[in-house]
A and B are shown apart, each in its own frame.
Chain A
C-alpha cells in the first residue's frame, strides 16, 4: 500500500500503511499507533488525516476504514468486533492487541462491511 506521509509546520510523519494499526482522534490531535506498539501524537485533526489518506492513497487506501468521528483503523488487523459490548479488538496475533470503543451502529456497519467483502 506504500507510505502515508502527514506533516504540519514542525513535523513530518512517514508511515508504511501496512504497519499502521489505527489512528485515534484526540481533540485537534491524532494518535497514530503502529503494530510495533509505537504511538505518536500528531497535531492534526482526524478529518484532515482522512483527507490526506484519500489524497495520497486513493483506492489503495481501502484497507483503512474511518469509524465514526474518532477512529481510523486498518482492517487487516481486525481481530474481534463485539457489537453488543461496543468493542473492537485490533491485533496482529503476535502479542500486539488494542481494544477500542465505537458506537454499536458503526460496529454493526463495520461487521456487515467485512462480511460483505468475504462473500
Chain B
C-alpha cells in the first residue's frame, strides 16, 4: 500500500487516496486521450487538401513521385513579343483552355482592374474574400506589404522578382521573402502538389480556374464547363502540371485576357456585387 501523505485521505478498503492530487494527472490523461482521439477521427476527413496515404496495392496503379511527365513546354514561342497565347485541349473529357503569358510582368492588385488599362494583358481573381467581414482570406502581401494574415488554404502563389512560384505548404518562407523583396503572396486551394492531385472537400461543380506551373511555364487553365474540383485537378495532373492552385472561379468571377487588342472575358460577365477587397493576379506589359 502506498504511503499516505499528510494532505490526503484514503477510504479503508478502497486503497485509493481521496485527495485532489489524483485529479490533475487524471484530467491530463483524459485530455490527452481526447485530443489523440479527435486528431485520429478528424484528420482523415476533416482537413481539406488531403493527399491520399493508402497502402500501396499490386493491381491499382500507383501515383509516382514527381518526375515531371511533360518533356517540353506547351508554347513553342521564343520571341520577345508581349502577348497571351491561348491553347485549347481536352483531358479526361474535361475541356480546358490554357492561357500562357509571354514576356509579361506578373503582380497582384487589390480592387477590380480596369479594362481601359492598356498595359494589362490578363487578370484573374486570386485570393478569396470572406463572406462575413469581406476581408481577404489567408496571408496576402502586396508589393512587399502584408495586408492579410493567416492560413486558411495550403496552396500559395508568391511573385518575387517577377517570377511566379506556385506551391503547397502550411508555412512558406516565401511570405517573408515577398515582404523583403517587394514581392507578392497569396493563398488558395492547392490542386496539384509535385505532380500529385490534392484532394479538396469542395464537391460542387463549377467553372474552374487554376494557376499552374509545368516545365518552367506558368499559365492559367480554365475549364470550359462546370467541373468538380477533383475532376479539374485530375485533368491538370494528366496535363503534366507540376503545381497548381485554384483561382477564384465560378460564373461570378471576374477576369479577362487580351487577344488581338481585344479584351475577352474568361466567362460571360454577370451582374454581381463588386467588393473593394477583391484581389487579382495580373500580367502587364513591361513599360
Question: Which of A's residues lie within 8 Å of B, judged by CB?
Answer: 47, 50-51, 53-54, 57-69, 72, 103-106, 108-110, 112-113
Would you call B1 and A105 a contact (CB within 8 A)? no
Q: Is B10 an interface residue (CB 8 A)?
A: yes
Cross-chain contact A54 with B13 (CB below 8 angstroms): yes
Interface residues on B, range: 10 to 19
A61 is contacted by which of B1, B13, B20 (Cβ under 8 Å)? B13
- B8 lies within 8 A of A68 (CB): yes
Task: Count contacts between A and B, CB distance < 8 Å.
Answer: 75
A113 to B19, CA, bound (A): 9
- Other-chain contact of B12, A47, A57, A112 (Cβ < 8 Å): A57
Instruction: Write the B1-35 contact mask toward A (1 if CB under 8 angstroms, else 0).
Output: 10111111111111100111000000000000000
Cross-chain contact of B10 among A57, A60, A66, A112 (Cβ < 8 A) = A66
Cβ-closest chain B residue relative to A74:
B12
B9 and A58 within 8 A (CB): no
Asked whether, in the complex, the Cβ of B13 is within 8 Å of the Cβ of A57, the reply is: yes
> CB-CB < 8 A to A69: which residues of B?
4-6
Q: Given the complex, which residues of B lie within 8 Å of A54, measured CB to CB? A: 1, 12-13, 15
A53 to B76, CA, bound (A): 94
Q: Are A106 and B6 in contact (CB under 8 A)?
A: yes
Residues of A within 8 A of B5 (CB): 68-69
Q: Is the CB of A65 within 8 A of B11?
A: yes
Q: With A50-B1, A105-B19 as given contacts, are A68 and B12 in contact (CB-CB < 8 Å)?
A: no
How far apart are A68's CB and chain B's nearest CB, in angstroms?
4
With A50-B1, A105-B19, A106-B19 in contact, do A65 and B9 touch (Cβ < 8 Å)?
yes
Residues of A within 8 A of B13 (CB): 53-54, 57-62, 64
